[in-house]
Structure 1
């Protein structure tokens, strides 16, 4: 996800299990902020957190109900985004060194956050390497979603640090959002 020194300040285009996305390491709050500028994303719209597994959540110890844990274990990995309450547990999310702290205020809303565990091996491995990623669909705000890396390159490539080329998306719609509050 880069060091923030190039075009896009560390924002890359990636493939997910749904449509292509813009991604930035949560270790780099400037990159997370850049996502808003790159796609002209309204400040009130959410940026989601992408992680590699439910186990990353378990180690952060969020105060989820047993029913929510069961739901997440049944739907992840997959094309679901769960809206959950924000809290101090997010500061523990990541590898042995917490990495969400700097981006805490730039993802989700003041009180809630959307979590994704995509059913896409490359994206999950990327999350294992970088820690949680701030992600949103790779399209200019208000325009159709990008379903191929060529769409990301032609529409936003000049604003990005890099694009992970991986062909067509498996789906043509974004993830299904489930309000778990």
Structure 2
């Protein structure tokens, strides 16, 4: 197995690697992430040995990059939540269409979106553009909670340096799905407790 230090890449280096079609391991505020560009997302299901009906999350550095992908009415409802909880452990599932949905949530009409509260990864996202992400563990295995665990789960992939990564919360993000004007459905209760009336 390649020593961990030899698998570390700086922000600019790993951004180029991702834009070239590779997948990499990144820190986030919740759990370590497995990431690649949306157009290369098919490899994530293979790497994770995960059913393709489980969608990926699109992470970005800025809210506008995500909210401009949805409908006007959904964006109006999402803005207050984004302003309050992003960057942070809240994933918003919003109506969307086109190539990004085909890559991250095939056959569906929505897209999960999040901005992580992790400065190193947001710095990368500002250079690479939005990335398709998921937790860095094999399907059915416990989530990785450190760079070392993520690296062991995916021994061939580079990691965003430097180490140590910021300590993640260990809790998955809360997931809210927009269903109609003013209405949200809680898909997963996670790290964020959203007040009643917001979801």
TM-score range, shorter chain: 0.7 to 0.9
Runs of 4+ in 1 over 6 A off after TM superposition: none
Give unpaired runs (5+ residues) of structure 1.
Answer: 89-100
Q: Which has the larger radius of gyration?
A: 2
Is 1:21 aligned with 2:41?
no
1:146 to 144, 147, 153: 144
Cα root mean square deviation, aligned: 2.1
Distance 1:139 1:54, change over 3 A: same
Equivalent positions of 1:118-133 (< 5 A) are 118-133=116-131
2:159 aligns to what?
163
Per-residue deviation, residues 51-110 of structure 1 (Å, max 9, x unmatched):
11213235557422523211211111100111111135xxxxxxxxxxxx4x54121252
- Distance in 1 (CA, whole Å) between partners of 2:66 and 2:35 is 19
TM-score by length of 2: 0.73
Q: In structure 1, how many angstroms separate the alpha carbons of the residues matched to 2:153 and 2:70? A: 39
* Count of residues paired in the alignment: 160
* Match of residue 9 from structure 2: none
Bigger relative contact order, structure 1 or 2 (CA pairs below 8 A, ≥6 apart): 1
Structure 2: runs of 5+ lacking an equivalent: 1-14, 180-199
Q: 1:111 to 1:149 in 2, by over 3 A?
A: same
Preserved CA contact (<8 Å) 1:49 1:134: yes
Residue equivalent to 1:94: none
Match of residue 171, structure 2, among 170, 173, 177: 173
TM-score, reference length from structure 1 = 0.79
Aligned residue for 1:83, secondary structure, equals strand
The match for 1:105 is 102
